[in-house]
Structure 1
Amino acid sequence: MGYYEEEGLDVEVVALPGRPAETTGLVVAGQADLTIAQPDAHIYPIAEGNDQGLIWTFTPYQGPVFGIVVDESSEITEASQLENKTVAMTALGPPFESFMNANVIETGGDPSTIDTVAIGSNPAAMEALRSGGIEAIVGNRSEMALASQVTGTQTRLLPLPPEVADGLAAGFIIRKDSDQTEREAIARYIRAVVKSAIFAQENPDKAVQLSWELYPASKPTDKPEEQALEEAKVSLAETVDQYRPSSDGVWGYISEERWQKFLESNGFSDKIPDVTTLYDYSLLDLINSFDEEEVREQARNK
């Protein structure tokens, strides 16, 4: 749609799924301008006394993008029932394992009893779930939804306890020492991303087609285009439907209270006494300076 061009940007996107430490490491090293990562990737090092010189600047999601799925026929109905079970995830440790632990603890379970295994491919994890080799999968909801559909595995998302549902999801992280010119370019980039998500919410068919045009290798060639389109829309919806402004209408804002609750639920309150040192919302006004209805109208007319 030319959103980057409108913002005067030439953008290169590098994808490192399931490798949050590497993505933040690229920003720390100055090899990337920003990354989008789960809060764990930002907070854990700080809590351990390793300030990497990063600051959280924008949260596009107002709810978790991760989930825990079980086979549709499973008797497991909440996370506490994963005790003494085998659970798969793309990579061990945060953010997947910490997300699982929070769900288990908040529903009254003990996560230390769970056998966690790393399965790098979501389709492979789905096959293991269907065969009974594992009892649950923790991962990005959009990726699991697509893998479920592609492999024909009937799954069910476990409900999130209120404390987790109100928690933080992925956000954009930049270097504290980014100068004003860099920060303004980053704000324009994030604004383009938000416009793209709004467009996709309004016209998912066109969004998928535009994505295939931009990344031809992502378009499946082993199935009818109509089937591929429906599968891609399922994955897309799990991501972009979580893009929404805060309750006061501001895109990217998470209240200090919600940040504090996140620290408390993860046991970091003592290690990070001043939660406001974790984020900087000085770019929000610039990012929010666009007409949302104009973008939606543009999508409807495509």
Structure 2
Amino acid sequence: MFGKLKCSTAVFLAAGGLMLAHVANAADKVVYALTTSNISVGNAAQSSIPVGMEYWKNEGLDVGVIGLAGTMLGVQQIATGAVQFATAGPEAVLIARQKGLPIVAVYVMSTPIYETVVTDDNIKSFKDLKGATIGLPEMASGSLPYARSAVKDAGLDPDKDVKFISVGLGSSAANAIRQKEIAAWSVWDTGVAALENSGFKFTKIDPPWLSKMPGNVIITHEDMVKNHPDVVVKFLRGLAKATVFSLANPEATVRNHWEMYPATKPQEMTPQTFADSLHIYESRASRMVKAPGRKWGENVDAEWGNILLYSVESLGDADTMRASYTNQFIDEVNDFDEEAVIAEAKASKW
């Protein structure tokens, strides 16, 4: 039982409305939220693969995967105990900690996933966006604190020199770009890849320091870390195995995702539509590759320190930063036969 975190229902936002998920036995069943309403093939390693390959089930967990509209909503749901794990941007974690929310990052999924793209060749950097409007997928997304910091780093005032608006993803974002409602789009990698598939030619204007920060992280409640470390290890080890599988066999990963999320499968299957789906998958997978000498999920102090260095927000000091994440589970999370998972992936019939 999760004690303080146990709840009879988990309230979450999906498909544009409120839904309820019963949490029957919290020791076995957990709810995991991806903080996007569009769980695309790019999210396969953290959604369809650990379920389809039964990595979580084999760890003794029954994991329900849901989508939430934005990082800050995921943070709130973790803080209230409505969900047990969620994805988040690292800056959003630090902002939440400054507000006293009891959340902690326990695993780094990738290098930074956010990008800012433009179609106007006259825009070379954030400095050229003075007086412009920057589009976001959602105002609650982790791309907002990143974009605000990039604006500040360019010598502009993010509260006065630019305007931020929500334009969504896919067709709604495409319309905003075509109609020049926005001069730049700050979004995550898979969103950019999807519009590239529809013919957009983008230029990325991200500052060089972005690559020196942690990317997408997994967060949980402090009480989970303290009272249920075994559940945390099992959940994260399932993610690590799924990441290894997906990197070893991208084609099988995409096909499995279609099976579990049929709405993401192209209506017409052709070599081109399959290639487009792989492009979306690879836009995220390229950021999930483990750096030499690093363990799956490992936090690096220097990367988190760069957030304090460049953020426009007030995020506290180094001690506050270090309390926002932990590596205490990483050795156990990495305790599996990686080569066996790779062999399993290459032998997959998907």
Q: TM-score scaled by structure 2? A: 0.77
Say whether 1:216 aligns with 2:265. no
2:171 counterpart SS class: helix
Q: Which residue does 2:48 correspond to in 1? A: none
Sort the Cα spacing of 1:266 and 1:27 in 2 relative to 1 into closer, same or farther, 3 A: same
2:280 alignment partner, one of 235, 257, 265: 235
| Amino acid paired to 1:42 | V
Is the 1:59–1:253 contact (alpha carbons within 8 Å) kept by the matching residues of 2?
A: yes
C-alpha distance in structure 2 between counterparts of 1:135 and 1:167, whole Å:
25
**For 1:243-282, what aligned pairs fall within 5 Å after superposition?**
243-266=288-311, 271-274=316-319, 275-282=321-328
Quote the offset at 1:120 in angstroms.
2.1
Q: Which residue does 1:142 correspond to in 2? A: 190
Sort the Cα spacing of 1:226 and 1:270 in 2 relative to 1 into closer, same or farther, 3 A: closer
Quote the offset at 1:247 in angstroms.
4.7
| Amino acid paired to 1:193 | L
C-alpha distance in structure 2 between counterparts of 1:225 and 1:87, whole Å:
35
Q: Which residue does 1:156 correspond to in 2? A: 203
C-alpha distance in structure 1 between counterparts of 2:227 and 2:306, whole Å:
33
RMSD of the alignment, in Å? 2.3
2:138 counterpart SS class: coil
Sort the Cα spacing of 1:85 and 1:254 in 2 relative to 1 into closer, same or farther, 3 A: same
Q: Which residue does 2:66 correspond to in 1? A: 14
Quote the offset at 1:91 in angstroms.
2.1
Sort the Cα spacing of 1:3 and 1:94 in 2 relative to 1 into closer, same or farther, 3 A: closer
Quote the offset at 1:82 in angstroms.
1.6
1:35 counterpart SS class: strand
| Amino acid paired to 1:60 | M
Query: Tell me, which stretches of 5 or more residues in structure 1 are unaligned?
Result: none
2:176 alignment partner, one of 119, 122, 128: 128
Quote the offset at 1:87 in angstroms.
1.5
1:58 counterpart SS class: strand
Quote the offset at 1:267 in angstroms.
5.4
**Identity across the alignment (%):** 22
Q: Which residue does 1:90 correspond to in 2? A: 137
Q: Which residue does 2:339 correspond to in 1? A: 293
- The 4+ residue runs of structure 1 with deviation greater than 6 A are none
Quote the offset at 1:94 in angstroms.
5.8
C-alpha distance in structure 1 between counterparts of 2:312 and 2:55, whole Å:
40
| Amino acid paired to 2:137 | T
Alignment size in residue pairs: 294
C-alpha distance in structure 1 between counterparts of 2:166 and 2:238, whole Å:
34
Q: TM-score scaled by structure 1? A: 0.88
**For 1:158-237, what aligned pairs fall within 5 Å after superposition?**
158=205, 160-178=206-224, 182-221=228-267, 223-237=268-282
Is the 1:246–1:252 contact (alpha carbons within 8 Å) kept by the matching residues of 2?
A: no
Sort the Cα spacing of 1:124 and 1:27 in 2 relative to 1 into closer, same or farther, 3 A: same
Say whether 1:29 aligns with 2:80. yes
Quote the offset at 1:86 in angstroms.
1.9
Quote the offset at 1:98 in angstroms.
1.9
2:114 alignment partner, one of 38, 53, 66: 66
| Amino acid paired to 2:106 | T
Quote the offset at 1:284 in angstroms.
0.5
C-alpha distance in structure 2 between counterparts of 1:215 and 1:96, whole Å:
25
Q: Which residue does 2:152 correspond to in 1? A: 105
C-alpha distance in structure 2 between counterparts of 1:115 and 1:169, whole Å:
25
CA shift digits 1:172-203 (9 cap, x unpaired): 11111126673222222222222222222222
C-alpha distance in structure 2 between counterparts of 1:26 and 1:95, whole Å:
15
Quote the offset at 1:277 in angstroms.
1.3
1:76 alignment partner, one of 123, 132, 145: 123
C-alpha distance in structure 1 between counterparts of 2:64 and 2:270, whole Å:
28
Is the 1:106–1:163 contact (alpha carbons within 8 Å) kept by the matching residues of 2?
A: no
Is the 1:56–1:280 contact (alpha carbons within 8 Å) kept by the matching residues of 2?
A: yes
